[in-house]
Every structure is written in C-alpha cells, then in structure tokens.
Amino acid sequence: MYTQPKETQLPYQNPDLPIEQRVEDLLARMTLEEKVAQLGSRLPFVEAEWRQWIQSPLEDRIARTQAQPFDQIAASGVGQLSLLLRELPPRLAAEVTNTVHSSVRQHSRLGIPPIIHDEGLHGVLANDATSFPQSIGMASSWDPVLLEQVATAIGWEARTRGIRQLLSPTINVARDPRCGRTEETYGEDPYLASRMAVAFVKGVQSQGVVTTPKHFAANFVGDGGRDSNPIHFSERLLREIYLPAFEAAVREGGALSLMAAYNSLDGIPCSCHHWLLTDLLRGEWGFQGFVVSDYGSVGHIHEYHRVAATRMEAGQRALEAGLEVELPVTDCFGPSFVEGVRQGRVSEEALDEAVRRILWVKFWLGLFDDPFTDPDLAERVNHAEHHQALALETAREAIVLLKNEHHALPLAANVQTLAVLGPLADACILGNYTWDGYPPERYVTLLRGIRSRAQGVDVRFAQGCEIKGESKEGFAEAVRLASQSQVAVVCAGNSPLTEGEGRDRADLALPGVQADLIKAVAATGVPTIVVLVGGSAVVMAGWIEQVAAVVEAWYPGEQGGTAVAEVLFGDTNPSGKLPITFPRAVGQLPLYYNHKPTGRGYDYVDLTGQPLFPFGHGMSYTTFEYRNLRVTPHKVGSHGQVTISLEVQNTGERAGGEVVQLYVHDQVASLARPVKELKGFRRVRLQPGETQTVTFELDVQRLGFLDAHIQHVVEPGAFEVMVGSSSADIRLSGGLEVV
C-alpha cells in the first residue's frame, strides 16, 4: 500500500498529529461546497432505480452493485454512503470498499473518505452475516457480558466488509408492546436498557465501527403504541424513563453517533430539537460525535411536521439545532442549502462545527490513514464457526419459560411420538432488520432442531394454518397427528408480516386462526406445549389455561431451532427473564411494572389490573431459595455506598441459571415515586445444592429523583430494598435509611 512521504504530507494527512489539529487544518482548506457535502449521503441508485432494484433477484443486485460508477461516487465528496455493501458477499464487499477508498484518494481534491453505513441490530444486515437473536431476546438474557460479545462479533463482521458505522442499537424504552418495533428494543425498564445499550456500544466500537443509538427520543410510546406519533411528556418523565439509556450510551459507552427520531416532542420535531440535540446531548452529556437523521427525517420537518416552509429551511433548522448528517440521500442539505449559507440565511459557524464533528469521527476511525480492508479476512470472519456458536449460546439464554404446569417440560425420556405443529414450526423467521436473502438452509427451524435432537423419536409435522389468514383446512391433519402422539408442540406467533417497523398492532392476539389451532390441538387431551416466536407480548386469553407449557423463543436467530429443542428436551435449563410485561388484554395497556401509585384502584370492573406475566418473569426446571438478606450499613448519607448481599441456593435436582433482581422503593418522598424500580441484577449459575453469595454495590445517589424544579435530589428517609426472581416474585425485603 502506498504511503505518502511525511515531508510531502499536509498537516491533516499526518497520523502523528492530534486529531483536533488535523481536523482544524483540513477544515481550513475546505470550500463551502466541500463542507456541505460532508453533511450529505447517497444510495447506490436514485430512488426510482432503488425501488426496482430491491425487488430483483440476488444475482442481479450483486451485478448491478459491482457496475456502479464508484469513481463518480467518490469524486462527489459525499460524507456517507448508504447501504452500499448490503447485497454483496463478504469478499466482494471488501473489494468494493477498497475500490471506493482508492477512488477517493485518486479523484477527490482533499481525499476526504466517506463513511459506509448499514444496520446491525442483531447481526450485520448483509449477505452471509451471522444472525443473532433479535434485541428483545438478547435483553431476555439479562446478560450484558454476553451481549458485548455478540456486539463485538457484529462489529468485527461489519468492519471486515468495510462498513464503519452501524445504525444500531435501538434503545427506546418499550412501555407499550403494541408498537411493532418493540422487538428492536431492550424492553420497558430504563436501567436494564441502559446496561444492554452500554454493552452493545462498547462491543461494536471496540472493533473500530461507530454505533448509532436510536431513536432520539421517546419514539415508540406517543399514542396507542404507534411508532413516531407526537410525544407530550414532561421533562421529568423523559429524563427518568426515556433518556437514561441514551445518556448511558454516550457517557459510559462512548457512542460516537446518535440518530434523531421522526416524532415531535411538544410540537418540535426531534430532528430540529435544539434542547435535545445540543443543550442536553452536548451541553450536559458531553457527546463528541455527530447526529444523523432517521431516513428522510430532515425532509419531514418540511413535509410532515410543517414547521419549515422549504427544504432549505428544514435543513437550516436541523443543522442549527445540532443534526449534522442527512440520511439516506442528500435532500435538504443540497444545492439550495449551499446557497442559503452564501446568503447568510444558514449559520456558517454552525456548518463549520458540524463538519468539525464529522471529520473528528472519520479521523478516529482511521479512514484517512488506512481505510482498506482484507477480502480474505472478510471471508473468514463473516459467519465464522465461533460466531455461529455464539448465536446458539445467546439463543439459549434468550428463551423464557412462561408456564410449565405439572412439570410438562422437559419432555420425558420415554416420549416416542411427538407432533410438531403450527405455521412457524418449519419457517425461517429471523425478525426485522435481517437481510432478505438469508438462505433458509442456514436457519435451524424448530422442526429441524427437534428432529436433529430427537433421534429415535417419531416426529410428525403439520403446518395447521398460515401465520395470517382465516383458513382452517389444515386443522384436521394437525389434530389427527396430535391425537396419535404422546405430546404436541405448537409453534405459533408473529413474523415481519404481522409486526415490525411500520406494523404497529391494535391487537396483541396471535394473528389469523393460530389461537384456534392451539385450542383444537389442546382439545385432543394430548399434553400441548406452545412455543411462541415473535418480538413482543402476546395476549393468550382463550387458550393459556388449556395448554401445559408456554415457551417464549422470540426471534431466536439462525441457531434458534437447536436452542429451543435443547430446552424442550432438557439439555438446556431455561433461564431467560421477560424484559417487558405481558398483559392479559390489550385494554390494560400501557402496562408496566414501575408505575406510580394509583389514586384509586388497579382493577377494572371486568378484569384484574395485574399482568398475565410480569416484568422479570421466567421459570426454570430447578428451584432457587433466597435467604440471609443483608443491607450494610442500614443508615447512610446521601453520598454513601450500600452493600446489599444475599445467598441463593439451587434447591432442585438440575443445574440452572437464575437472574437475581434488586428493586427499591422510596417509602415517603416529596413527589410520588414508582412502586418499585430495578436498581441491579446478577445472573448466577448453580449446580444442584450449590449456594452462592450475590452482592450488589449501590451508590446512594441512584436512589435520587428529580424534584419539583427538575433537579436531582436524594431525600432523607426510609427505602424498602427488595430482592426477587421477578418484579412480582419478591423473595426477600429489608430496610435502608438515608440520613
């Protein structure tokens, strides 16, 4: 590789100089047009071609991608390239990356490299990448250490292809499971979401790939669970529930990009919200990176929100509020925007500051010094065997055992006939933000997993019905097979056809006639196990009482069928815990564990106010006893530290994992406080009879809240300390006094 001699280097080309010095030198050399170009992005095709292209066969997409005029793309000086490498196998993606960066060096005046970005929510959204369990499943592991390993693998696969920014993770708090994008989140609790967010950011960025936590802010909970609807929350609610995961991603994780949301906050679109993007993000949290738009959201300032008369004005409002990059194509930051700067209608100072932030990240990534990647390494790393093994391990930890009546699971060793039924039993369902060309033979379906595990067992399969639709023609065959078997396993749930981005739901019941299929199978009297696939809560009225067990598999990734089969046969003891509340009926929503006290009652006239399955719930094939809770000291100052410890013993006959959950309640405060708040959790693995001491170190400042003036305060008084197996299954409690 050619390296320019140091004596001929300009200061910004010298890797030995501090990044800040290199940025300032380069910025001083840039023309107005070159500066504005850094705010923009482009797709491989114009929009009309793109829509046609995504419907064409994979071979055509690869060929057309290869045929793109990369010299022209590079010479344009654009700041970002969107979705450039998605369709390409790893080796070819690396080769295209190298072509792009070589062209930049040869054909652009200053050689400013673009950032190639794509998605990486639960695996790089690209040809031949590893598909891990969906985010909601990884949250069910309650295992940030494992998630960081997954994120490191995702970052490594992305970088070897040439992708240097991932538009992930989604860290919106999911308090209303009707939102179709609940599957992308880490659940309803700000503390759990924060720990998982930090783990993901650290893992990906350790590989030299920028993360982009999204969508900033409060994107999923505005109105009936509908994505991107307007938000009218108080600042206190935003800061206590919807912003902590973003703050943690920035302050602790070091996230170097953030995505502004589509929705408005109190009438101001998030993509031009100065308080969000500048005062809070940079002024309070010290964010060093750049903010990108959600796809098209700068244009929405003009088109949808109607708070800008023109696209140029929309761009001006976004830039001056603190948004630096428009994705996926340059629209509002185009020629009219350049003219707006020339005429003084757009702040040149704001433009320089935006470009400064973008360049800083590009230097941090090393794109000016060595932007190239090794095609051989890309081929070895993507979908490597150890990544497949990690996908299997994560799927095992993600599975939640919701119900297990009369120890129906694990399946008895003497089971000789097994009916595997349902529309998702032999389907390749990986969840949203998965590459649409994923080869089905690489995905282990539940049927494949069971047949591989159940050697010597007569496994019979019938689909029974479609995921959607009203036809019951397949019921007779499913019922016949069930009635001739010792056990029936019905795999039901959702898919990207029934939930996901742009697919919010008014009803959380199983789509189509799946519930009727479950009832018909259960009516045979054969013990019936339901395995749920999907990304959010499901209401189960009408069939939950008729089945023996319910297993929540989520979208379990490419190795999901193996993991579920291991749980069914007892090779793996399930240990996942729900990161969201499952309601009994949609009429209870929104429903979450950390609510504030009611002014009247919790129940409805026709239904209890209690959930079907609470936050933190998850059963095991063994039992755990909690004892000897100790809170030291019992009295502590507002800047002190408290040690909370207890013993957990596996009192069953199987090895198993348990997530020990710490909750706290402020008993008397100047403002109403939640009935309980998660303040810590520990995952432990115990052999039969084994006892382990679990210890939490709690900073007393974390017991504080925002007072009437939105100032953080820790008030003196009594706190209840609760430790349990879920938010509703509190095993031990004690007292703590802040003085």
- Taking only the tens place, the pLDDT of each residue in 149-201 is 999 999 999 999 999 999 999 999 999 999 999 999 999 999 999 999 999 99
pLDDT score for 1 = 43
Superfamily, domain 624-738: Immunoglobulins (2.60.40.10)
pLDDT at residue 87, rounded to an integer: 87
The stretch 281-310 carries a mean pLDDT of 97
DSSP string, 211-268: E--B-BTT-S-SSTT-TT--B---HHHIIIIISHHHHHHHHTT---EEEE-SSEETTE
| Enclosing H/E stretch for 196 | helix 190-205
Q: Is the peptide bond before 611 cis (omega within 30 degrees of 0)?
A: no
Structure tokens at 572: 């793996």
User: Quick check: 539 pLDDT over 70?
Assistant: yes
Active-site residue 707, yes or no?
no
> Cα separation of 373 and 150, whole Å?
21
Domain 19-380 has CATH 3.20.20.300: yes
Alpha-carbon distance values, 85 to 58, 169, 501 (Å): 13, 19, 22
Q: Is 664 left (phi over 0), alpha (psi -120 to 50) or beta?
A: beta
Q: What is the pLDDT of residue 84?
A: 85
Cβ distance 165 to 209 under 8 Å? yes
pLDDT of residue 241: 97
> Which entry of 294, 331, 504, 666 is annotated as an active-site residue?
294
Range with lowest mean pLDDT among 72-81, 593-602, 664-673: 72-81
pLDDT band at 221 (very low <50, low <70, confident <90, very high): confident
| 439-440-443-445 Cα dihedral, nearest 10 degrees | 170
Kindly report whether the peptide bond that precedes residue 633 is cis, defined as omega within 30 degrees of 0: yes
pLDDT in tens, 365-380: 999 999 999 999 999 9
| pTM attached to this predicted model | 0.96
CATH number of 399-588: 3.40.50.1700
Does the pLDDT value for residue 50 go beyond 70? Answer: no
Give the start-to-end residue ranges of the domains of the chain.
19-380, 399-588, 624-738
**272 and 311 in contact (C-beta within 8 Å)?**
no
Q: Phi and psi dihedrals of 208, rounded to 5?
A: 75, 35
> What's the token pair of residue 674?
């939640």
CA–centroid distance for 710 within its chain: 29
Instruction: Name residue 264's amino acid.
Output: S
